[in-house]
Structure 1
Amino acid sequence: MTDATADTSPPRRQKNPVLDALYRNKFSWIGIGLIVTIVLLAIFAPLVAPYDPLQQSILSRLQPPSVDHWFGTDSYGRDVLSRLLYGARISLAIGFLSVLAAMIVGSTLGILAGYIGGVFDQLVMGLVDVMLSFPTLLLGLMVAAMLGASFENLIIAIAITETAPFARVARAPTIAVKRREYIEAGRSLGFTPFRIMGVHILPNILSDIVVVGSLWMASAIRTEAALAFIGLGVRPPTPTWGGMIREGFDNILNGWWLIVFPSLSILFTVLALNILGDALRDAIDPKTRSEG
């Protein structure tokens, strides 16, 4: 005779420690909330924007914030709020695509350098050190000046400036992971180096790469705004946050809103990405996760 009946309830799903730590971090929700809000406003800009961002009205030029124009108008009579919403599309797209390209190229170089080692590793890391010796803005300025001002060239210029950090971040854990026993077992079974790097090494270092990507996306948005401010961004009249600051600089004394609102948009976006990146880093780090 048994003392207790068998437990037939389904087994509980084990919590993901990273997601659980991210869920318990209150600051992460601030970053996630800001990013989601900004992305949604950018996606639905045609529905949210009260005016056409390219519509000019000389009679309405340089109007301060009012009921009709919440963020005022610029020197051409265009609605600043509408241009901010459409400009978010350009800034976020450039930031995301440039970081994605830098992540793919840089991580690939870093994994190859860490796995192959030897002369190839020295050559790749030497190139990375040279690229890191230049300030990000200066390197982006040189590349953008050579390629010319356009949406595609701006993505390429910013991606080149951010390739080196991803290569360095991917190389170090690759060297550590390739010495583990299951990697040696894979080699003994005849797995190709590309299979080992893509199937067994990449998933183990992907979290570090994603954290760096969230942090460097904030840097990409700042770089785009800086390049647009000096005239190497997307060509007018396409609205971008950096371009709006540059256009408002000429009217800074009698049109403070032309600079304040685009600057605040960049500030909140960069702040949200940094908060999210720090939260991801703390959630992935086992020591920080255990302390929380």
Structure 2
Amino acid sequence: MTIATSSPRRQSAFWMAFRSNRLAWLGVALLAIIVFSAVFAPWIAPHDPLQQNILHRLQPPSSEFLLGTDTYGRDVLSRLIYGSRVSLVVGFVAILIAMVVGSAIGILSGFIGGVFDRVVMSLLDVMLSFPTLLLGLMIAAMLGASFENLIIAIAITEMAPFARVARAPTISLKQRDFIEAGRAMGFSDSRLMGRHILPNMLSEVVVVGSMWMASAIRTEASLSFIGLGVPPPTPTWGGMIREGFENILDSWWLAVCPSVAILLTVLALNILGDALRDAIDPKTRVE
């Protein structure tokens, strides 16, 4: 993949390519709506997401409850809006941690090389041999169900892809003339990696991050569905699907509404990631 630099001409070409992608704006619009709802949830949500009212239990969508109510009489729309906070925060923070730690491991492994590189890559191959959900399930089960442990579990499962992405260009870049010139001038290895190698691969890592954030949100929903996510009564999309699964035939809105929310969020992130990738490297575009 062609690595974007920080020159004004490259930045201008990037934004022109991104703006010309009409599908990209659909992803931006969907993600903006979801983020807006999460940030302003206290003002947008029509009801308290934790307030129970048995008299209103399992009511279908109506003018009072636009997406109906659950088995405890809680407003589904309000819980859906507040649940977006958990999904977005967990997805963003977990991917940010995985991006920083994984990229650092990949750069260090590719730069040092030799036995260290082989050992690190072997460990990453072991991690990649496990399905993401299965590895996250094992880690979350060992750590216990909590908001912080959920982020840690997802971050660990997503580190290996970032390390792989960062390692490959590091091996190529460390042999370039500007790295050799830096060594001749007495630059330390940390300076060469942090100020000369990292900026030349940062755009590629960010693109991967936008795509893997969708995977992190799916993993969070899956772990919440099986009871290893954020403990109730905090609303989460995966937890809402689990609660509505038993009443799927009679009260379809309980499981369908959070499922659609996950679908739209993942779709928006995937569209945005594809658009960023195409803008950075026009050769990958599908005409």
Q: Same fold (TM over 0.5)?
A: yes
Equivalent pairs counted in the alignment come to 279
Once residues 112 and 246 of structure 2 are traced to their aligned partners in structure 1, the CA distance between those partners, rounded to angstroms, is 54
Residue identity opposite 1:21 in structure 2: A
1:160 aligns to what? 156
Report the 3-state secondary structure (helix = DSSP H, G, I; strand = E; otherwise coil) of the residue aligned with 1:16.
helix
> Residue 56 of structure 2: which of 54, 60, 85 is its match?
60
* Partner deviation per Cα, 1:175-216 (whole Å, 9 max, x = no partner): 111111111111100000000100000000001100110000
Q: 2:239 aligns with which of 224, 228, 243?
A: 243
C-alpha separation in 1, matches of 2:14 and 2:136: 34
User: Alpha carbon RMSD of aligned pairs, Å?
Assistant: 1.2
The alignment-based identity, stated in percent, is 70
Deviation at 1:253, TM superposition (A): 1.7
Amino acid paired to 2:102: G
Matched, 1:26 2:22: yes
Map of 2:212 onto structure 1? 216
- The residue number in structure 2 matching 1:6 is none
Give the drift of 1:104. Answer: 0.7
> In the superposition, relative to structure 1, how do residues 157 and 71 fare at CA in structure 2: closer, same or farther (>3 Å)?
same
- The correspondence for 1:96, drawn from 77, 88, 92, is 92
Separation in structure 1 between the aligned mates of residue 226 and residue 137 of structure 2, nearest angstrom: 9
Partner of residue 142, structure 1:
138
- Rg larger for: 1
Once the two structures are TM-superposed, the CA of residue 286 in structure 1 deviates from its matched residue by 4.1
What TM-score do the two structures reach when normalised by structure 1?
0.94
SS of residue paired to 2:201: helix
TM-score, L = length of structure 2 = 0.95
C-alpha distance in structure 2 between counterparts of 1:257 and 1:264, whole Å: 10
Which residue does 2:253 correspond to in 1?
257
Distance 1:252 1:286 in 2: 45
Partners in 2 of 1:141 and 1:276 — Cα distance?
A: 28
- Measured in 2, the distance between the counterparts of 1:191 and 1:286 equals 34
Deviations 1:54-84 (A, max 9, x none): 0000000000000000000000000000000
Give the Cα–Cα distance (whole angstroms) in 2 for the partners of residues 20 and 178 of structure 1: 31
1:105-120 aligned within 5 A: 105-120=101-116
CA distance in 1, matches of 2:204, 2:171: 14
Structure 1 regions of 5+ residues with no counterpart? 1-12
Runs (4 or more) in structure 1 with deviation over 3 Å come to none
Q: Where do 1:29-40 residues align within 5 Å?
A: 29-40=25-36
Q: Which runs of 5+ in 2 are unaligned?
A: 1-7
